[in-house]
Each structure stands twice: as C-alpha cells, then as structure tokens.
Structure 1
Amino acid sequence: MSASIIPVIFARLDSRRLPGKVLEPLLGGQCVIDELLVQLGRMAEQVPGVIEPIIATTSRAVDEPLVHKARLAGVAAVTDHFAPLKRLSAIAAAHPQCWLWRVNADSPLLLQPLIEFAAAQLQGMDDQVHVITNLVDRSFPYGVSLEMFRAAMINAVNLDQATPEQLEHITPVTQQLPSRAVFGVTAGDLDLARFDPGVRLTIDDATDAGFFRALWTDPDFQRTRPGSVERVNYAYNRRRSGAT
C-alpha cells in the first residue's frame, strides 16, 4: 500500500501586497482556503493515498482567524514558527511515515491529474527518492505546482544550519539533494503540451485578485470541472491573453 499523502496548506494573513487575501471572498463569494478545502476533500475521495489536509500557519495573533477557519472546517491546524520550513518540520515529526504535499494558499487552481500521477509513483518507489516535484524542469504555469516531500527527509534537515532562503521557501532544500533523490514531473508526463511557466496563476496582488474574481464568475470557466486540465487550460489562456 502507498504511503499517505498529507496536503499541507501554507497560509499567513499578513501578505505585504494583499493582506488577508486567503480569507477574502474572491472566488465567487468563497475564499481561497475554502476553495482549496473543497478541492482537497474531493481528491481525498478520488486519489489513493491523499488524506485530510492540514492548515499550517504561525502562532502569531494575526493568524488566529486561520486557526478558527480550520476549526470551523473540521480540519487540523498547526501553528508554529514564522518560517515555513520549521512549520513543515513540525508536521513531519508528527507524521514520519507520510509524504507532505505543499499547497500554497495563494494558488487556487489545483490540477488533480498532477497529484494522481505523483501518487501513482509512490507504489514501489525507491527509498532513495525524497522529493517529487514539477519545479525542476518547469513546464506548468506558475502557481500550478507540485512539491511532495518524504517526511523522513524533512526530519533529517538540520534547522539550525538551514539558510534563511531554505527556511522561507523550502524549495532550496531540494537543491541540496543528489539528483537521484528528486523525481521530476513535467507536463509531458501527463501527455500535455508544455505551458509557459511565466504565466502566473497565483493571487499575489490586487490585479491578480481582480483576475480571479472575474474568472470565477465566467460562465465558460464555471462549466469546467475543478481540478481538471480543462479548467487550468482555460485560466491559463485567459491570463496569457492579458485578461483581467
């Protein structure tokens, strides 16, 4: 049986460019956290290995609404250090046999076939593989990301020696691993044409928020299935065309 995959939603409320964005009703009246929880709940039912998500936020007062949101949604919240790597390490220590799937709360467009492909690789995967990612050879839009870390690898990181970049972004930890420890995924593995990774499908600022507000009320977009290639393609083509 494959190891469990825990989606870990990283969220804070003090974004410099758009504070509080992850709890704003930007997506058809729903906030990004709620949208992610709906999509992840569906994946937990449909993708072998994927289990209930965890919201990873800080222990600061500004982020208490995220803990309240988790409580209302009936999911776990881990409150720990400001640095994301330290939060991930706390979760890895509690779940040493699992894989931890990093989900960013500013990226509401999950791609279910991508996580399905990654989950399928776990069956019989070499123990030397510690990371599954699509960020080595970037062929998906920015924000349609996959980073899955073996908890044992995160537990082995010496946090006292980690650089500020590693503590904040986590991804640089992967760059210190031997190539055999990283399983790279490209669009071609899903039989998709390469996307332009410069097209951003994240909510970073007010312009992005406006794009996603309009997208979520677009009748053609609404007819696509959450998590589908069709939905990501539609959003990608709209953003690439300069739609706002």
Structure 2
Amino acid sequence: MTSTRLPGKVLLPVGGQPLLHHHVERLQASGFPLHLAITTNATDGPLADFAEARQLAYVRGDEHDVLSRYALCAQEHELDVVVRVTSDCPLLDGALVGHSVQEYLRANDTRLYLSNVLERTFPRGFDFEIFSRELLEEAAQHATLASDREHVTPYIHQNRSGGVRFQHVLRSENRSAYRLTVDTAEDFELIRRLIEEHGAAALSADALVALLDQHPELVALNAHVEQKKI
C-alpha cells in the first residue's frame, strides 16, 4: 500500500474490482492454496481486510524483511513448497503456475529452484519462483544483506549456499520486452485497458502475448518505464 511510485496500487479499481481481486482469481486457477504475506503497518490493514473477506490465509510481518515474512508464512501454514509471486502482477497466469508446480514436484528435489525470471522469455508481470521450504529457511537463516531480506530470493538464486539446482520455464518466442506489472500510472493504464476493453482477466499467458503482439499501441503505453533495480 505504500508503493513509492503508485501508492495503494494493489487495491486500485479495475473493471469494478481491485487489482488484487483479479490477481487472486487468476492465481486460484493454479489449484494450489494462496497465502498473503502482509506487513504489520497500519496502512496495510485494508489488505488484511481483503484477505479476511475472501477467506484467504495470511500472515503479517516486517515491512522491509520480506524474507522473514515468507519464512513465517511457510512455518505457520506448514508449507513444504513455496511459490513466490508479487501482488503487482495482476495478470499472472495461474494455470501456467500450476503446471510449473507440477513439473517442480515431479523433480522431487528440495534443492531445486524453478522459475521463469532468471532466463526471461515471458513478459514482466508473469514472474514466479518455486522453491522448497528447506531453501527458504536456509536463506532466512543465513542471508544478511538488506537486499536479500527485502527481495526474498537473491540468496537462493545467486546460489550462495553452493547447493542449488536450477531449472527454467521458457517460452518458444521471447516476449520479455513486454511489461504487465504495475509500478507506475502508465503500467496501471495498460492493465486497466487490457481488462476493461479486451477481457484480459480471462485470458491465458499465450493469449495475452498474442493480444499485445496485435496491439503495439497498447505496448507503447508503458514501454518507456524502467523496472526498479535491486
């Protein structure tokens, strides 16, 4: 709720519902339970209210130590596998996430980190990372840099422990230049138009990419926006 570039962004209304509603609806297509890791700040009270109204599990923890929030969530809800997504990606494809989780589970390897973020071929905004509670707790115990604590997974995906195995989820055609995350007013305008004018909330990842391929004027709305660096 205290986003510096677009305050309150996850509850901004689109199509008669807050952005977070669309995000949750799409993630539930994964077939796996959803957990919100919310800060203890009073400003994030509306997010707790949102979770309670929809009977979603949640925990509340430190604003800046997001890693500790994830570890707390995994511990309290006894999660063996964690999928990290961020709440500014309302068009993330839950079915894609669910398929990738099944791929992760088939590997049966607690040292595996599977994601579509290290080798980018998906649009930004489709990001997910899958890892074990073992790797999460290892990071929570040993990560010391402020950026490690804020961004959750650097200790894991930089393989600081030396024992992580990597697997990448890739598209056949690279569309990593497209931007479907919400960090600025321009980002929000693109998502708003996609949902309200093109039915994007019901589209798969491939269908969304095809839509952007067909509408360069939509891509241009936020093509100039630079992602914040870690």
TM-score normalised by L of structure 1 = 0.79
- Corresponding residue for residue 115 of structure 1: 97
Deviation at 1:180, TM superposition (A): 5.1
Q: Percent identity?
A: 26
Secondary structure of the structure 2 residue equivalent to 1:142: coil
Mark the CA change 1:235 to 1:86 in structure 2 (over 3 Å): closer, same or farther.
farther
**Deviation readout 1:163-194 (Å, 9 max, x if unpaired):** 1111111231211254752222211xxxx312
Contact 2:111–2:135 (Cα < 8 Å) also in 1:
no
Q: Distance in 1 between matches of 2:79 and 2:205?
A: 29
Matches within 5 A, 1:187-226: 187=171, 192-195=172-175, 197-218=176-197, 221-222=198-199, 225-226=202-203
Match in the other structure for 1:186: 170
Look up the match of 1:54. 35
Paired residue for 2:227?
Answer: none
One-letter code of the match for 1:18? Answer: L
What's the counterpart of residue 32 of structure 1?
Answer: 19
The answer for unaligned runs of 5 or more in structure 1 is 1-12, 45-49
Structure 2 residue aligned with 1:230: 207
- 1:163 matched to 2:140: no
Give the number of aligned pairs.
Answer: 218
Give the conservation status (yes or no) of the 8 Å contact 2:26–2:93.
no
Q: Is 149-158 or 74-83 further displaced after alignment?
A: 149-158
Q: Which runs of 5+ in 2 are unaligned?
A: 223-230
Contact 1:113–1:229 (8 Å) recurs in 2: no
What is the distance in 1 between the residues matched to 2:120 and 2:188?
24
For 1:77-116, list aligned pairs within 5 A.
Answer: 77-82=58-63, 83-116=65-98
TM-score (normalizing by structure 2):
0.84
- Pairwise CA distance, 1:97: 4.8
- Give the superposition deviation at 1:28: 1.2
